[in-house]
Amino acid sequence: MPVRDYVYRGTTRSLCPECKRVVDAKILVRGQRVYFRKHCPEHGTREDFICSDVAFYDQHEFDQPARMPESYGTTADKGCPYDCGLCPEHEQHTCIGLIEITSSCNLRCPMCFAESGPGGKHIDFATYKSMVDRYILHEGIADVLQLSGGEPTLHPELVPMLEYAYQQPIQVVMINTNGIRLARDPDLVSQLATMRDRLEIYLQFDGFSSESHLALRGENLLDVKRQALDRLREAGIRCTLVCTVEHTANIDQVGEVLKFGLSREEVRGVSYQLATYCGRHLPAKDLENRTTMPDLMKALVRQVPEILRADDFYPLPCAHPNCHRMAYLYRGEESVVPISRLIDPKPHMDLIANSIVYTPARARNLVAKAVASAGDCGCGPGGCGSAEPSNFIEQALSEKLTGKEVFRITLTGFLDSYTFDTRRVMKCCLAHILPSGHIIPFCAYNTLYRDGTLPLPPLADSKQDTSSRSISNLPLISLGGVKS
């Protein structure tokens, strides 16, 4: 009797990359590699490569009950992904709400999923205000608002837009930027410095070789990035480095990016984002070679073994486990130590779930529970050989940990029409806020709604009093720590 050459792991719904029809997909494991087998009535059966190592796939042991938004934008009618708005079938609130305030950009990156470039349009202030208001309507108190584009620093009303966001119950406001204007416009940086208590710059930073910059951005921008970082440091503005990872361009530099970030006081974390085939970024000839989450994690461990091990990473509990991996590092006086080696966070994921924002109180609660249950720092009978564990625990319990000490690493794999997975979309905590009032999961928007493949569903009536919500009681925090 013949035996199949794969192990069946379940089903999901995905897309036919040829026509973007929503189709059923079998999840197959062949060797250690994960594939989706799909059948489209028009284009037939195909398999798409999803993940290079099944050991890191579908690790649901970290899952936690999700936090619901205060209200929904649409009704559940046709099922995921047709009802985005968010609909009541969505399994997570929005941790990061993203507003594209312009489609104009001073670059024309070869891999831009938004296909931005010079000559785009800015949204007007009234439209922006209504989008922020919509976000607060559904979230109540929002974790993060990210202003994006295009290149958001090109918008002539960027500063008033930030000022309006600061009047709302939003804990962190981020600017997603290539850094060109920050490097060249000290007056803008000075204006941003007046808002640094709740501001974080999300700075595109893809590596150190001219080849990687040309492949991903079309220009060699390393000197510009360094100048932007220098200005941010002088102004006391926090920053996260955002490294898009593409297997032929820069995966050999991810460790150097981490070490560079750790050496800079103004850098509070590195966000690695796997390249996806949306927008202007055309698929490689051989999609079997695309970089997946285990490849990125193993590259980091291989390149910086003195800092990281594979077990230092764990899935972000509020999203689907295949979407994000994260690790926190303690930047101590003597060394850099993964926090997971100082305490074991796994039994206490309830204190990490449903928000990506770090606060001293959350750190104190996590450390107190971990120490109480473990009875020590978690380093074993031989100790850690340094003062870092006791320093970390003392700072955490006294709520003195700042963004200078807590350094965040995130690994993110976005979806495209090859890897689209409604299980992941339904738990997405990163969403586009549209001028129409819809709030749509990031990957659903970029694959299906941005180009009009799917029409926007009708909005449900949803009115709510927000007059009691005040920013005055919110802690001054960033994704990487408190105001410092």
Give pLDDT tens digits for 403-448: 678 899 999 999 999 999 999 999 999 999 999 999 999 999 999 9
136 with 51, same domain?
no
208-230 average pLDDT score: 96
- Residue 427 forms part of a structural domain: no
Same domain, 54 and 75: no
Q: What pLDDT band is residue 359 in, cutting at 50, 70 and 90? A: low
Number of separate domains in the chain: 2
pLDDT tier at 347, thresholds 50, 70, 90:
low
What does the DSSP assignment read for 349-368? GGGTTT-----HHHHHHHHH
Does residue 245 sit within a domain?
A: yes
Rounded to whole angstroms, how far apart are CA atoms 428 and 439?
11
3-state SS, residue 77: coil
Q: Identify whether 393 is part of a domain.
A: no
Q: How far is CA 285 from CA 17, 253, 269, in A?
A: 14, 23, 33
pTM above 0.85, yes or no: yes
Q: What is the CATH number of the domain that holds 217?
A: 3.20.20.70
Q: Containing domain of residue 179, as a range?
A: 67-305+312-325+409-418+468-482
Reading the block at residue 233, the tokens are 């440091």
Same domain, 51 and 75: no
277 plus 208 within the same structural domain: yes
Percent of the chain with pLDDT over 70: 83
One domain for residues 26 and 110: no
Residue 150 belongs to a domain: yes
**Which residues lie below 8 Å from residue 432, measured CB to CB, with a gap of 6+?**
98, 99, 100, 439, 440, 441, 442, 445
Together in a domain, 185 and 53: no
Task: Pick the more confident residue, 162 or 341.
Answer: 162
The one-character DSSP state at 102 is B
Distance CA 227, CA 255 (A): 21
Q: CA Rg, the chain, in Å?
A: 22
User: What is the separation of C-alpha 116 from the centre of its chain, rounded to a whole number of angstroms?
Assistant: 20
User: Same domain, yes or no, for 207 and 76?
Assistant: yes
Report yes or no on 201 lying in a domain. Answer: yes
**DSSP H helical segments within 169-311, as ranges?**
180-184, 186-193, 210-217, 222-235, 254-262, 293-303
Residue 455 has pLDDT above 70, yes or no: yes
Q: Which residues contact 209 (CB under 8 A, 6 or more apart)?
A: 250, 253
Is the model more confident about 282 or about 51?
Answer: 51
Phi/psi at 141 (nearest 5 deg)? Answer: -110, 120
Helices (H), 208-310: 210-217, 222-235, 254-262, 293-303
| CA nearest to 229, candidates 240, 220, 244, 219 | 240
Q: Which of 32, 58, 84 is the last residue of a domain?
A: 58
Q: Is residue 274 part of a domain?
A: yes
pLDDT digits (tens, 9 = 90+) for 132-177: 999 999 999 999 999 999 999 999 999 999 999 999 999 999 999 9
**pLDDT at 399 exceeding the cut of 80:** no
Q: How far is residue 32 from each of residues 6, 53, 332, 344, 419, measured CA to CA in Å?
A: 10, 5, 38, 28, 17
| Amino acid identity at 330 | Y
Q: Flag whether 342 is in a domain.
A: no
Only one residue has tokens 């060249």, namely 184
Domain end position, chosen among 58, 87, 106: 58
Average pLDDT, integer, range 37-47: 98
| 132 and 37, same domain (yes or no) | no
> 193 and 171 share a domain?
yes
pLDDT at 387 over 60: no
Residues 217, 227 contacting (CB under 8 angstroms):
no
| Strand residue runs (E) in 76-130 | 96-100
Examine residue 92 and state whether it is found in any structural domain, yes or no.
Answer: yes
Domain shared by 134 and 172, yes or no:
yes
Q: Are residues 53 and 201 in the same domain?
A: no
Displacement of CA 155 from its chain's centroid (Å): 23
Taking all residues of the chain, what is their mean pLDDT, rounded to a whole number? 87
Claim to verify: residue 51 and residue 161 sit in the same structural domain: no
Task: Name the helix (H) or strand (E) containing 268.
Answer: strand 267-274
Q: Where are the alpha helices (DSSP H) in 398-465?
A: 422-425, 442-444
Q: How far apart are CA 306 and CA 230, in angstroms?
A: 27
